[in-house]
Amino acid sequence: MSALKASPAVFQILDENGVKTANFSCPSPDVLLKMYQGMKKIRLLDEKMMGLQRQGRIGFYGPSFGEEAAVIGSAQPLDSKDWIFPALRQGGALLYRGFPLEQFICQIFGNTGDLHKGHQMPCHFSSKSFHHVAWSSCIATQLPHAVGAGYASKYLKKNLVMMAYLGDGATSTSDFHAAMNFAGVYQAPVVFFCQNNQWAISVPFEKQTSSPTLAVKASAYGVPGIRVDGNDCLACYQASKEAVQKARNGMGPTFIEAVTFRMGPHTTSDDPKLYRDETLVIEWEKKDPILRMRKFLENEKLWDQTMEEKIEQNITQEIQDAIHQAESLSIPGLETLFEDTYSEKPWNLVEQEAALK
């Protein structure tokens, strides 16, 4: 069954009980288990990081509670040579591709183990070797970057695909319009993966647009727009797989609206109880993407309680060890404020550095 058919209906493979509702050729058991473990790792890491922030050990964090299926399902079809242009909640995709957990946590601490030397906000990850580009807190600025990189890949015949992530709030921006229009006109090899978690911080979906869906907006740019169940990891995987193959084969961009829900706060600086009815959270907890995937694996005889306990123990220990290592490192030196901008420091920076010291 092809996911790439424009429709207001939501493409789904697994229902809330983990039962297949569509004909689907599953990935290998190894891939299924890898995706599930990737989702569990995000959840356990988010819980730990939220705790660290409340304890004052880190300053800021943006969790992905309830959106793990969208992150992992969309990342799995990418080749290692493809590039990710993330938004706030796709750090898990970087980990899934093999980025070291200790360096990931060091970025949140902003210490000497951080590749950015503390120059970026927490959760603004990037890695040249893992083809993950830093994003800006200014909404949707990563989208024109992804399209430009995609066009460059096409022009240079590199055969690379760009995965451009965004939230529902980003579809209200001028950068979204510019990126979609350029991608449609020049058939850039880009997959726009929108995690529609129903909230642009405190603004609900119905106050963001009068369009019945976000996917329908893609048609104005000549781009196929599809909707998938964002809490169904296999549906996100299948839709992304087809979109990636389409882009790699020179057939242009796709816009995927993954319908999900942000079960936690926007960030540690946010209190959703001030603007959101918590009964919504209770309803969406019944659609928990991790629980759904686990039920499916259990139905397929690929998972059991013993394996669940073991993987939780292993991931928790891995996180604890990485935190211990990160907290043993010092903050970057003052001299790093003046590095990595110019190949040779101009006179004014030399003077400023001397004055600071």
CATH number at residue 234: 3.40.50.970
Active-site option among 97, 145, 227, 262:
262
- Please give the residue range of the domain that contains residue 279: 29-356
pLDDT band for 30, please (50, 70, 90 cuts). very high
The HSE-up count of residue 243 (CA atoms within 13 Å, CB side) is 34
The answer to the question of residue 43 being in a domain is yes
Torsion region of 33: left, alpha or beta (phi above 0 gives left; psi -120 to 50 gives alpha): alpha
- Residue 2 token pair: 């092809």
pLDDT for the residue 6: 52
Cα–Cα distance between 318 and 322 in angstroms, integer?
Answer: 6
- pLDDT(353) > 80: yes
Q: Looking at residues 245-250, what average pLDDT do you find?
A: 98
**Residues 6+ positions from 308 with CB-CB distance below 8 Å:** 294
pLDDT band for 4, please (50, 70, 90 cuts). low
**Residues 6+ positions from 154 with CB-CB distance below 8 Å:** 186, 187, 188, 189, 250
The answer to the question of residue 191 being in a domain is yes
- pLDDT(154) > 60: yes
pLDDT for the residue 259: 98
pLDDT for the residue 7: 55
Any catalytic annotation for residue 145? no
Average pLDDT, the chain: 96
Q: Looking at residues 126-149, what average pLDDT do you find?
A: 96
Cα–Cα distance between 65 and 285 in angstroms, integer?
Answer: 10
pLDDT band for 25, please (50, 70, 90 cuts). confident
Active-site option among 275, 292, 294, 324:
275
What separation, in Å, do the N-terminal and C-terminal C-alpha atoms of the chain show? 64
pLDDT band for 115, please (50, 70, 90 cuts). very high
| E strand map for 97-138 | none
Per cent of the chain over pLDDT 90 is 94
Which residues lie across from 204 on neighbouring strands? 199
- Residue 3 token pair: 């996911």
- The CA distances from residue 218 to 10, 60, 211, 268, in Å, are 16, 34, 11, 32
pTM: 0.95
Q: Looking at residues 107-131, what average pLDDT do you find?
A: 96
pLDDT for the residue 9: 87
The answer to the question of residue 5 being in a domain is no
The answer to the question of residue 57 being in a domain is yes
| Least trusted range by pLDDT, from 5-19, 93-107, 167-181, 313-327 | 5-19
The answer to the question of residue 80 being in a domain is yes
pLDDT for the residue 223: 98
Active-site option among 89, 266, 292, 294:
266
Q: Looking at residues 276-291, what average pLDDT do you find?
A: 96
pLDDT for the residue 341: 86
pLDDT for the residue 2: 62
DSSP 21: -
Domain count, the chain: 1
What number of other Cβ atoms are within 10 A of residue 147's Cβ?
A: 27
Say if residue 119 is exposed, middle or buried (CB neighbours under 10 Å; 0-12, 13-18, 19+): middle
- pLDDT(194) > 60: yes
The answer to the question of residue 226 being in a domain is yes
Calculate the CA 121 to chain-centre distance: 16
The answer to the question of residue 198 being in a domain is yes
Q: Looking at residues 172-179, what average pLDDT do you find?
A: 98
Q: Which contacts (CB < 8 Å, 24+ apart) does range 137-141 have?
A: 139/167, 139/169, 139/170, 139/173, 139/175, 140/166, 140/170, 140/173, 140/175, 140/176, 140/179, 141/175
Q: Looking at residues 132-155, what average pLDDT do you find?
A: 96
In the chain, what's the furthest Cα-to-Cα distance?
68
Q: Looking at residues 86-112, what average pLDDT do you find?
A: 98
pLDDT for the residue 5: 55
Residue type, 342: Y
Residue type, 173: T
The answer to the question of residue 293 being in a domain is yes
Q: Report yes or no: 297 and 303 within 8 Å, Cβ to Cβ.
A: yes
For the chain, give me the number of helices (H) and strands (E)? Answer: 11, 7
What number of other Cβ atoms are within 10 A of residue 76's Cβ?
A: 23
pLDDT for the residue 22: 86
pLDDT band for 1, please (50, 70, 90 cuts). very low
pLDDT tens per residue, range 293-307? 999 999 999 999 999
Any catalytic annotation for residue 116? no
Give residue for tokens 């604890």: 320
Any catalytic annotation for residue 275? yes
What number of other Cβ atoms are within 10 A of residue 317's Cβ?
A: 10
Cα–Cα distance between 279 and 276 in angstroms, integer?
Answer: 9
pLDDT tens per residue, range 66-87? 999 999 999 999 999 999 999 9
Q: Report yes or no: 162 and 191 within 8 Å, Cβ to Cβ.
A: yes
Q: Looking at residues 84-106, what average pLDDT do you find?
A: 98
